[in-house]
Structure formats: C-alpha cells, structure tokens
C-alpha cells in the first residue's frame, strides 16, 4: 500500500479522502490556493503546499505544479477527487510518465468517455441503449441546425467534454436553438476548454438513475447498486438516494449488467459511474459515464457498508476488488442532500459570504456530514458553492426520510444564503415521500417549494426582543461607565420615562413586512404587546447565542444571532430592525438601474448607449462559478448608461446598466 499520497483537490472531498488515508496509515499532502490558505483540508492533511492564486486556472488546474509538488513531497500517488483534474486525461498521462500513480482510470478510458460523442459511439458497439441524437465531430452551426430539426423537440444541447449541468440547455423549439447553442458552447468552453456539443431528444419526465461501478486491473468488474439522482436544479443534482425507489430485481439486473458492459468496453479501472435516463415505461438509456468518484458516493457507501475511497486506493495499488458481485448486498436506504450557498428563490443563483454561524446536526451511526468548511470560513466566488453533504441512513426509505427531516431541522447557517430551508420543504412534500420522482420534480412543485412568506411566530419575535433588550442594556452599561453621572436618569436609554409609563418600540422586518411590537415594564415584570395579545416576557442568555425564553406560560430555547436571525424549531428567521432605506427588488432593479444579482464577471454586453430595448430582451451576461446569468430588460425603454464592459469583475448589487422606461422617456 502507498505510504504517502497527494490530494489534488479542496473542500469536502479532500477532507473525505484524507480521512480514509489516515485510517489506513497513509500520509497525506494537501495543495491550496491563496484563498484556501486557512481551509479545513489544509489543516487535516499532514503537510500542505501553496500552488497559486485563487482562480482555479491559477491553482487547482495547474497539473504541472501539482505533479512537481508530488515529486518534491515524496508522494507515490495522486488522488484527484472530483472536478478540477479528475477527468483530465493529459494530467493522468503526465502522472504515469513521471512515475506517480494516478488514482483513477487509465488514460484511454478517460479519453473514451471524456467526449460524450465518442462514448456514445462506443456504447452503441457495446449494445448499451442510447437516446436518439447527434454525437458527431462536425460542429458547424449549419449541420447542428439540421440535426436539431431532424431530432425533434424538446431537445437537450450538452457539452461534449464535461458534465455537472454546465454547457447544457433545453431547447423547446427551433426558434430557441441558435441562442441556446451559442450559450451552451460559450459555457462549455469556459468550463472544459472545449466547446463541442451533442444534441439529444429530451425525454419527458424521466428519472436519472446511475450505477456505481468498480473495476480492478485483473479484469473484475462489479456494480455497487444504483442511485436515484432525479431531484435536480439547473441540471445539477441536489438530492440523491439509494437504492432507487421502485427498482425491481429484474430492472436492477439489466441496468447493472449494462453498466458493467460499459465499463468493460473501455477497459475501465477504478471507481466510475454510469448514468442512465429511466422512462416511465421502464426503458433506460445511457447518458454518460463519469470517470471518477462522484459527489454522491456516500449514499452507496451507507447502503453497502463499504469505503469506496479505500477501494480506490487498493485498486490503484494493484490489488483485486475486495468483494465479488455475489458478496455485495443492499442494507437499508440512504439519502444525501447537498447544502449549497445559493438563493433558491432567485433561480438558485450562487451566493457568497462568511459563515458567521454554523450549527450542524450531531453525527451518529446513521447521520454523516461531509464538509470542508467551519464557522468563520468564507464562501468565495472562485469555487463551487457547496458547503456540505448531509447523508442519512435508515432501515427503509420511510425511516431514512424521517431521520433526514429531523437532521435538516437541526442544521443552521447564517452569514450566507443557503438552500437549507428549500431542502427542508422539499423532503416534506407528499409527492417526495411517495417517491413520485422525475428530473422535472422541482419545476413541477414550484408553488409548494416556494410558498408565500409566513409571519414569524410570537416565540420568534419574543426571542428577538429579549436579545435586543439585553444587548441594549449591555451597551447602556458601557455608556454609564463612561458617563460623568452614570446614575442620572438622562444617561439611561431604556423604557424609563418621567411621569409616564415607559415603552420600548420594536419594529422588526422580515422581507418587506414590518412587525411592530411594544414592550413595557409593569410592577416587577416586563410585557410584550403583539397584535394578538399581551404576554409577560423574561429569560436569560445561556451561551453567546442560545437563550432560554419565557413568554406567557411557555418556556423554550431559541438561538439569536448578532444579525438578529432567530433559529427556532428547524427554521431560520432572518429578522432585522426596520431600515427605511430603499431596497433593491428581487430582479436586481433599483429605480431604472439594473444591478448584479451575484458577484462575477461580465462576459457579454448585447446593447449600446441609446438602444431601444423591449421587455425581456437580453442586455448583458454575468458569469459566476462557471454559471451564466442573463440580465434582461424588466420593461421596454432606452439604455441610458452602461457601467461595465466585457471582462470586468462586478460585485453583488453593483449597478450594471441604467434603463429609462418608454413611459418615462415619452
């Protein structure tokens, strides 16, 4: 077995690989960018080396630098994790030539599956079923247009050289084709350095079911059962489960054999995933093969009892697979949800910021958290916005789902927008509990997933008031200590009033709604007056953020953060004291100004000063984390100012363009 390996990645997967290596007595070497100098993966490895500035192209994609560090540190092998260099055949070949083991498949297997068009050809020869489409090398726009019309609609344009939802567009009719093709090619080039695409018929309401395969150098190939990854947004997985609900033994056998055939057809070695679309009739079609360990591999580990990273290390060391297909069995059910820094209510745009507060559920035999961040860490614009993976196991799907719901109810993050509330709502939907799954699940349940904002309960408002009162009193104590006459009533800023009952006025805001509350002393007690009732309020601070609150006859615990976010009964209420300053609306429109919905870079400007534009017309494209966002005109009008050009970096909320409405200019 290896004695030292280099982990050519960051975040949770680097920490995950290091954990198994440590258990096996293998030393680990981390690499890090300037942005990751204090990152968790740097702390958990035995040694670490700086590889460049924050952008991935200047750090985690510098294969020659990483290989040089492997040689310098004495690492015998490199584990690429997922993303970055994990599916880079050139890097794998360079490792081989340098005498460093690449913990992944052979170069020829990566090349075969790295281009989707070539993989489709090989799967046809291996008699693995395919979706009708065009996978050819001729990428002329004229031919692609012809193929688009021949395939029919709806259809999917996909980057040939990669996955993860990047370079992927749904085309509903021919009129949408040219714009979708240009956007997909541009995103594919930025993400993978290759703008080749393929076009496939878009199946209606299919499920995304994938098989975890493993092969050794001795010709043995097994599958570690299937995962259902149908719950997706932006064509990217957000929740996975294993085994797939409703899977019959016959269908599992057929899909498992097809996955094994796919691996054997390219001489595969190591961990891989063969992805299929499964339609309502039970037919399945090959999509692609990911030649690496997947983000969602933990659900397969939870139902099989295996450590797939250990299997990777053993296979890369030339050992045979530890188990045969007959020895593998499914034990229970598992879910994984991906906790992202993003804004689900704004079409899942990525978010950035500092994790000012992080409380994760307690890990147990059936609750697992894979993460690479801690409280205080920064979620930057340079990398994928995933914060953690929450994995939960149960004896069956029902028990696993109940445990997942409970774990999500005990997961709190503040300082950056996340999808935690969205995930909690998602896993509570009746259709999800009934396993009515397909890749359009989120779009079909938008109304249930994004219900109208509810009013904060009195308990939440009471906790916020109590924390505000104590904070004011603490500030007051400091003021009194500095006062010439600290005992003067004029130095006291609480609810004391001469000749009248003292009243505290609180006006909390949630979204656009204000919640006015009055508080006052009567005899020896403090009371809150809400629209519903007058109730006595008391309590005490237990820790920096934890409070014991008594409201009327009810006593409860709540967490109140410095930014006035209240965490109670599984939900975060992002309150703030009312600030009448005009806010930017959801669409990033402030008066006639269009603002950046996220930090990123301008990659296209479609208008010039003085242009007349129609409502909905594309004005500018901003890209962040390799995902494009088109800035469109909220109304018809004239372009009055353009503040940024192609290549400029923008911050969230910065004004990009000014647009005078047709009504204003009339």
248's CB contacts (< 8 A; 6+ apart) are none
3-state secondary structure of 643: coil
Nearest to 371 by CA among 410, 325, 339, 394: 339
Q: Write out the E strands in 342-458.
A: 342-343, 349-350, 353-354, 357-359, 367-371, 378-379, 386-394, 412-414
Nearest to 506 by CA among 471, 468, 558, 460: 468
Q: Write out the E strands in 511-635.
A: 513-522, 525-529, 534-541, 546-551, 554-560, 565-568, 571-574, 576-577, 589-590, 593-595, 600-605, 612-613, 618-624, 627-632
Residue 611 CA: distances (Å) to CA of 309, 640, 666 = 56, 8, 15
Distance of CA 459 to the CA centre of its chain: 31
The two tokens of residue 178 are 């040219």
Residue 372 CA: distances (Å) to CA of 11, 15, 387 = 4, 6, 7
Distance CA 477, CA 483 (A): 10
Residue 397 CA: distances (Å) to CA of 279, 404, 413, 415 = 22, 10, 27, 33
Q: Write out the E strands in 144-192.
A: 155-159, 168-171
Which entry of 207, 292, 314, 403 is annotated as an active-site residue?
Answer: 292
| Helix, strand, coil abundance in the chain, percent, nearest 5 | 30, 30, 40
275's CB contacts (< 8 A; 6+ apart) are 208, 209, 210, 229, 286, 287, 288, 289, 290
CB neighbours (10 Å) of residue 379?
Answer: 25
Distance CA 253, CA 258 (A): 9
3-state secondary structure of 647: coil
| Total number of residues shown for the chain | 666
Distance CA 609, CA 429 (A): 48
Nearest to 537 by CA among 546, 297, 547: 547
Query: DSSP label at 580?
Result: -
Q: Are 46 and 28 in contact (CB under 8 A)?
A: yes
Look-up of token digits 């009739």: 281
The C-alpha torsion from 576 through 577 and 578 to 581, rounded to 10°, is -80
CA-derived radius of gyration, the chain = 28
Look-up of token digits 């609480």: 494
Q: What are phi and psi of 422, to 5 degrees?
A: -60, -45
Annotation marks residue 314 as catalytic: no
Q: Active-site residues: which are they?
A: 292
């Amino acid at each position: 077995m290896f004695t030292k390996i280099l982990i050519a990645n960051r975040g949770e997967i680097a920490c995950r690989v290091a954990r198994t290596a440590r258990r096996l007595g293998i030393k680990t070497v981390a690499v890090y960018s300037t942005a990751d100098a204090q990152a968790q993966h740097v702390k958990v490895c035995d040694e670490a080396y700086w590889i460049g500035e924050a952008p991935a192209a200047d750090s985690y994609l510098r294969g020659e630098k990483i290989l040089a560090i492997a040689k310098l540190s004495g690492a015998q092998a490199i584990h690429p994790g997922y993303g970055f260099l994990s599916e880079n055949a050139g890097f794998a070949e360079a490792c081989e030539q340098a005498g460093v083991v690449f913990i992944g498949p052979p170069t020829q297997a990566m090349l075969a599956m790295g281009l989707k068009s070539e993989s489709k050809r090989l799967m046809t020869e291996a008699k693995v079923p395919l979706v009708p489409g065009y996978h050819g090398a001729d990428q002329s726009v004229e031919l692609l247009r012809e193929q688009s019309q021949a395939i029919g609609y709806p259809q999917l344009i996909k980057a040939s050289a990669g996955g993860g939802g990047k370079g992927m567009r749904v085309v509903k009719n021919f009129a949408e084709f040219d714009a979708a093709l240009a956007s997909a090619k541009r995103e594919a080039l930025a993400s993978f350095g290759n703008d080749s695409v393929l076009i496939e018929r878009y199946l209606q309401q299919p499920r995304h079911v994938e098989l975890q395969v493993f092969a050794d150098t001795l010709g043995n190939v097994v599958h570690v059962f299937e995962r259902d990854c149908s719950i997706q947004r932006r064509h990217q997985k957000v929740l996975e489960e294993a085994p797939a609900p409703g899977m019959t033994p016959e269908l599992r056998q057929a899909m498992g054999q097809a996955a094994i055939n796919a691996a054997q057809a390219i001489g595969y070695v190591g961990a891989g995933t063969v992805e299929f679309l499964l339609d309502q009739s039970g037919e399945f079609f090959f999509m692609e093969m990911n030649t690496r360990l997947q983000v969602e591999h933990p659900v397969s580990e939870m139902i099989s009892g295996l450590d797939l990273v250990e299997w990777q290390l053993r296979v890369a060391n030339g050992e045979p697979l530890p188990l045969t297909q007959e020895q593998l069995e499914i034990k229970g059910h598992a879910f994984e949800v991906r906790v992202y820094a993003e804004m689900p209510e704004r079409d899942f745009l990525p978010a950035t910021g500092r994790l000012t507060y992080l409380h994760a559920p307690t890990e147990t035999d059936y609750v697992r958290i894979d993460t690479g961040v801690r409280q205080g860490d920064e979620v930057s614009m340079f990398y994928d916005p995933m914060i953690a993976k929450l994995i939960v196991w149960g004896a069956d799907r029902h028990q696993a789902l109940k445990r997942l719901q409970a774990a999500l109810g005990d997961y709190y993050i503040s300082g950056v927008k996340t999808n935690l509330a969205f995930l909690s709502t998602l896993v509570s939907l009746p259709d999800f509990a009934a396993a009515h799954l397909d890749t359009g699940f989120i779009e079909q349940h938008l109304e249930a997933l994004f219900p109208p904002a509810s009013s904060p309960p009195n308990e939440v408002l009471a906790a916020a008031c109590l924390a505000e009162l104590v904070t004011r009193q603490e500030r007051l104590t400091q003021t009194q200590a500095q006062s010439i006459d600290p005992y003067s009533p004029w130095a006291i800023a609480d609810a004391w009033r001469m000749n009248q009952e003292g009243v505290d006025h609180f006006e909390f805001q949630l979204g656009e709604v204000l919640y006015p509350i009055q508080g006052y002393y009567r005899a020896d007690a403090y009371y809150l007056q809400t629209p519903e009732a007058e109730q006595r309020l008391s309590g005490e601070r237990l820790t920096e953020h934890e409070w014991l609150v008594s409201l009327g006859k009810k006593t409860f615990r709540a967490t109140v953060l410095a930014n006035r976010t209240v965490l109670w009964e599984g939900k975060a209420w992002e309150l703030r004291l009312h600030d009448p300053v005009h806010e930017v609306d959801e669409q990033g429109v402030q008066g006639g100004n269009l603002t950046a919905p996220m930090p990123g870079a301008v990659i296209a400007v479609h208008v010039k000063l003085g242009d007349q534009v129609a409502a909905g017309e594309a004005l500018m494209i901003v890209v962040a984390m390799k995902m494009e966002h088109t800035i469109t005109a909220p109304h018809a009008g004239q372009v009055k100012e353009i503040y940024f050009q192609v290549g400029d970096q923008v911050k969230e909320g910065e004004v990009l363009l000014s647009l005078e409405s047709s009504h204003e200019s009339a």
